[in-house]
Structure 1
Amino acid sequence: MFYELATPTFGEEEHVALKKVIDSGFFTMGQYVEKFEQQFAAYHDKKYAVMVNSGSSANLIATAALCFKKDSPLKPGDEVIVPAISWATTYHPLQQYGLKLKFVDVELDSLNIDVSALEDALTAETKMIVGVSILGNPAALDVIESFAKHHGLYFLEDNCESLDAELNGRKAGTFGDIGTFSFFFSHHISTMEGGMLVTDNEELYQLALSLRNHGWTRGQPDNSLLFEKQHDDFNEAYRFILPGYNVRPGELHAVVGIEQLAKLPEFTKIRRKNLGLFQQLFGQDPRFITQQEHGKSSAFCFPMIVKKAAGISREQVFEALKKADIGYRMITGGNFLRHDAIKYFNWSSVGEMTNADYAHDYGFFIGNHPVDLAEQLNTLHQILGEL
């Protein structure tokens, strides 16, 4: 394809690292997972990081950890404020733990949650807010953080699409009680499959360690806050304390994560250079709404929304892109309330999801990669200019 949605980012360094693990014969979670966690935590200036097998699992473990806290755990029926646009697995763990979702519309220009509606979303049952930075563009994380602290809410930050984005000199993913990340093939760095959560809270960290690994005590620090060690070493080795999962990553995933993390600053630099060209080409195009940068975007991709008065339809745009061999797709998961799965949720909303619907019906995105895309973007500009 002339202009793909996603492209491989592995080089010789990743291939050598993979061979190192293959030659060792040891593939399950071990030294490289621990090393990657330490480096990732340091990169984000956080105390703790826990690697899992996907960003979706990171959201699951983060939600579960907040439900098993000793003091003030989340309980079935508690309300959680969420944006109308995100990926499905932002919401699914909330439903699976019996939480009630309160949907808030997004801003059309940023595609992130409309923080002016947060006070209207708040009730006596509200216990948490989920902040999502869409497609590399930081949400108003400082506002959400302040709102959560003022009202005594947990703040779960889903940063699976926005690794290396920044707001006010802080990395996205570090504003919440827990932040989650994804290392899927098309994301800012790839570990084939993989995810991470970060936190400064020791109890949440220890809960995440146990929940990741069958809910047992193995891998817990000596000073665990979750249980008192017994004297029977035989039974202690197979002691389960939480209803956990097996969402462990492997050494192959972690060892390439180490190499990819080292490349991340340069990856982001190139992505942002491509973003500058995209903004130059399309920022003033009266036919499209383009995502307005908030803070410092890590430029996951290039979202575009066809204006109703543009004189062209989204279907015409798609046909032109197909002919030019240019990939495109929905903006994240669109308005989640429009998906069949919503029938399984306990939810309400603050007014109509007008902007989320608009993005769902008129929006799409084009890929961005950590390579020079001048030829592809100029071709895109030419193709759409001819409509």
Structure 2
Amino acid sequence: MFYELAVSTWGEEEIAALHRVIESGRFTMGENVARFEADFARYFGMKHAVMVNSGSSANLAAVAALCHKAERPLQRGDEVIVPAISWATTYHPLQQYGLKLKFVDVDIDTLNMDVKQLERALTPKTRMLVAVSILGNPCALDVMRAFCDKHGLYFLEDNCESMDAEVAGRKTGTFGHLNTYSFFFSHHISTMEGGMVLTDDEELAHLCRAIRAHGWVRDLPTDTKLYQRKANDRYQAYRFILPGYNLRPLEMSGAVGIEQLKKLPGMTAARRKNMALFQKLFAGDERFIIQKEHGTSSCFSFTIILNPKLGPDRDYIFQALEKADIGYRVITGGNFLRHDAIKYYDYDVVGGSCPNADIAHDYGLFVGNHPFDIAAQITRLHEVLDRAWNESTQKR
């Protein structure tokens, strides 16, 4: 394909890392996972990192940990404020733990949660706010954390799409009580499959470690406060203290993660260079609403919304992209309220509807951004969209 949605970012370093693990004969999580966790926590300036087998699992472990805290755990029926646009597994763990979702519309320019509606979303039952920075563009994390601190709420930051972005002088994925990351094939770094939970809270870190591996104690330090050790218990290594899962990553994924993390600053710089060209070509064109950068974006991809006020022929324009061999897809998961799975949820919609999320769902798309020069692809994208819009207008 001329312009791919996603490409591999691996080189000979990642392949060599895989071979080292194969030669060691140790495939389940071990010293490579532990080293990657330590490197990752250090890079983002956090105390604890817990690697799991996907970003979705990171969200699951994080929500589960908050439901098992010794003090003020989340409970069934508690309310959680969430954005209308995100990936499905931002929401699913919340539903699975019996929480009620309060959906807030997005800002049409940034595609992130409209923080002007936070106070309106708040009720006596609100216990948590979930932040999602869409496709590399930081949301108002400083405003959100201040809101949570003011009202005594937990703050969960789903940073699966925005690794290495920055806002208010800090990296995204460091503002929450818990922060989650994804290392899927198309993301900022890739470990085949994989994810991470970051936190400065020791109890939450220990809970995530237990939940990651069956709810047992084997991966916990001896001084943990989660349980009392028993003297001379021959089954101590197989003691289960929580209803957990098997979310463990592979040792190969940890080894690859070590190498990918070394490359992250350079890959982010390349993505931002591509973004500068994209912004230059599309800025000021009222036909195409592009994502307004907030803070410093790590530019996962390029979003484009066909301005519905100008009556675009959406199908004609999308078909033109396909004919030009340009890959595209819906922005993240679109408006989650429009998906069949919503029938299983207990939820409310702040203001009764999410018109901006609907516009992004119906008229939006994103194309890929890669950590190398794609000037030719971006230029071609602009040419195709410009011509397709003009042709569709002339046919009316």
- Aligned residue number for residue 256 of structure 1: 256
- Aligned residue number for residue 128 of structure 2: 128
- Aligned residue number for residue 363 of structure 1: 364
- Aligned residue number for residue 34 of structure 2: 34
Which residues of 2 match residues 141-160 of structure 1 at below 5 A? 141-160=141-160
Which residues of 2 match residues 223-302 of structure 1 at below 5 A? 223-302=223-302
CA distance, structure 1, for counterparts of residue 153 and residue 306 of structure 2: 37
CA distance, structure 1, for counterparts of residue 314 and residue 356 of structure 2: 16
- Aligned residue number for residue 330 of structure 1: 330
Q: Which moved more, 1:343-352 or 1:70-79?
A: 343-352
- Aligned residue number for residue 52 of structure 2: 52
Structure 1 residue identity aligned to 2:332:
T
CA distance, structure 2, for counterparts of residue 310 and residue 375 of structure 1: 28
Shift of 1:330: 0.4
- Aligned residue number for residue 394 of structure 2: none
Structure 1 residue identity aligned to 2:223:
N
Q: For 1:260-316, what per-residue CA distance to the aligned partner results, in whole angstroms no more than 9, with x for missing partners?
A: 000000000000000000000111222110000000000000000001233532212
User: How many residues align structurally?
Assistant: 387
- Work out whether 1:23 is the aligned partner of 2:56: no
The secondary structure found in structure 1 opposite 2:206 is: helix
CA distance, structure 1, for counterparts of residue 269 and residue 237 of structure 2: 46
> Is there any run of 5+ residues in structure 1 with no aligned partner, and where?
none
CA distance, structure 1, for counterparts of residue 221 and residue 145 of structure 2: 29
CA distance, structure 1, for counterparts of residue 306 and residue 101 of structure 2: 29
Q: How high is the TM-score relative to the length of structure 2?
A: 0.97
Structure 2 residue identity aligned to 1:68:
H
- Aligned residue number for residue 378 of structure 2: 377
Shift of 1:235: 1.6
Q: For 1:228-276, what per-residue CA distance to the aligned partner results, in whole angstroms no more than 9, with x for missing partners?
A: 1111332212100000000000110010000000000000000000000
Verify the 8 A CA contact 2:308 2:359 in the aligned structure 1: no
Structure 2 residue identity aligned to 1:368:
N
- Aligned residue number for residue 182 of structure 2: 182
Verify the 8 A CA contact 2:56 2:89 in the aligned structure 1: yes
Q: For 1:84-125, what per-residue CA distance to the aligned partner results, in whole angstroms no more than 9, with x for missing partners?
A: 000000000000000000000000000000000000000000
Which residues of 2 match residues 38-117 of structure 1 at below 5 A? 38-117=38-117
Verify the 8 A CA contact 1:288 1:310 in the aligned structure 2: no
CA distance, structure 1, for counterparts of residue 41 and residue 237 of structure 2: 28
Verify the 8 A CA contact 1:4 1:367 in the aligned structure 2: yes
- Work out whether 1:207 is the aligned partner of 2:207: yes
- Aligned residue number for residue 217 of structure 1: 217
Structure 1 residue identity aligned to 2:143:
V
Structure 2 residue identity aligned to 1:370:
P
Verify the 8 A CA contact 1:183 1:192 in the aligned structure 2: yes
Structure 1 residue identity aligned to 2:178:
I
Structure 2 residue identity aligned to 1:157:
E
CA distance, structure 1, for counterparts of residue 385 and residue 335 of structure 2: 25
Verify the 8 A CA contact 2:106 2:357 in the aligned structure 1: yes
Verify the 8 A CA contact 1:215 1:240 in the aligned structure 2: yes
Q: How high is the TM-score relative to the length of structure 1?
A: 0.99
Verify the 8 A CA contact 1:61 1:212 in the aligned structure 2: yes
Structure 1 residue identity aligned to 2:71:
D
The secondary structure found in structure 1 opposite 2:316 is: helix
CA distance, structure 1, for counterparts of residue 382 and residue 289 of structure 2: 14
- Aligned residue number for residue 3 of structure 1: 3
> Is there any run of 5+ residues in structure 2 with no aligned partner, and where?
389-396
Q: What is the percent sequence identity of the aligned residues?
A: 64
Q: CA RMSD in A?
A: 0.7
Structure 1 residue identity aligned to 2:5:
L
The secondary structure found in structure 2 opposite 1:305 is: strand
CA distance, structure 1, for counterparts of residue 264 and residue 327 of structure 2: 24
CA distance, structure 2, for counterparts of residue 24 and residue 255 of structure 1: 12
Q: For 1:173-223, what per-residue CA distance to the aligned partner results, in whole angstroms no more than 9, with x for missing partners?
A: 000100000000000000000000000000000000000010001011111
- Aligned residue number for residue 307 of structure 1: 307
CA distance, structure 1, for counterparts of residue 227 and residue 105 of structure 2: 42
CA distance, structure 1, for counterparts of residue 378 and residue 243 of structure 2: 49
